[in-house]
């Protein structure tokens, strides 16, 4: 795996922070754990709900397990605030479990980046809401969210 720079690099501006969040959203919507892990430092520290992870291997394992349980996963991220090397992002994703029950999961992430634009720390707090299939808001084909699809604020989330 690589440690190449991942622009945009800190310190962030409103434009580069939005680009960084969209790049993360796009990567996560690929549902490719190895690809997603490349945005993080080799020793990145994560807290995700109640799990604490460290390093890309643990990130890949976590995401592999996650997307085996959270099917038809679609995510939207939005910058909440930023300063120098840190960013706060809110997100919501929709997925269904293997039994077919749909959920919308809401959360906040705190991100810290190194000078190369790799994330060195990710702290996530997430809540799940059971939804009926007809309540889904994310109906684009699996993969990248289309540019004309509304974001969180436009959807009132």
The answer to whether the beta carbons of residues 93 and 74 sit under 8 Å apart is: yes
Question: Residue 27 belongs to what domain range?
Answer: 14-135+146-155
**What is the arithmetic mean of pLDDT over 122-140?**
98
Q: Is residue 3 part of a domain?
A: no
The answer to whether the beta carbons of residues 41 and 3 sit under 8 Å apart is: yes
Q: Is residue 36 part of a domain?
A: yes
Whole-structure pTM value: 0.96
Q: Output Rg (C-alpha) for the chain, integer angstroms.
A: 15
Q: Is residue 9 part of a domain?
A: no
Per-residue model confidence (pLDDT) at position 2: 62
Separation CA 120–CA 55 (nearest Å): 9
Token output for 131: 């939804």
Token output for 8: 């945009």
The answer to whether the beta carbons of residues 85 and 93 sit under 8 Å apart is: no
Each residue's pLDDT tens digit, 70-104: 999 999 999 999 999 999 999 999 999 999 999 99
Q: Is residue 105 part of a domain?
A: yes
Q: What is the CATH number of the domain that holds 108?
A: 3.10.450.50
Separation CA 147–CA 115 (nearest Å): 29
Number of compact structural domains in the chain = 1
Per-residue model confidence (pLDDT) at position 94: 98
């Amino acid at each position: 795996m690589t440690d190449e720079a991942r622009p945009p690099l800190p310190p962030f501006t409103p434009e580069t922070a939005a680009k960084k969040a969209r790049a993360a959203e796009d990567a996560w919507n690929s549902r490719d754990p190895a690809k997603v892990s490349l945005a993080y430092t080799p020793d990145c520290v994560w807290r995700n709900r109640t799990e604490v992870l460290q390093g890309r291997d643990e990130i890949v394992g976590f995401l592999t397990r996650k997307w085996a349980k959270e099917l038809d996963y679609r995510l939207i991220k939005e910058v909440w605030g930023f300063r120098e090397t840190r960013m706060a992002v809110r997100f919501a994703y929709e997925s269904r479990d293997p039994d077919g029950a749909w959920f919308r999961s809401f959360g906040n992430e705190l991100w810290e980046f190194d000078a190369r634009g790799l994330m060195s720390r990710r702290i996530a707090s997430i809540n799940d809401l059971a939804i009926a299939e007809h309540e889904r808001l994310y109906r684009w084909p699996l993969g990248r969210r289309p540019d004309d699809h509304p974001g969180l604020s436009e959807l009132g989330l």
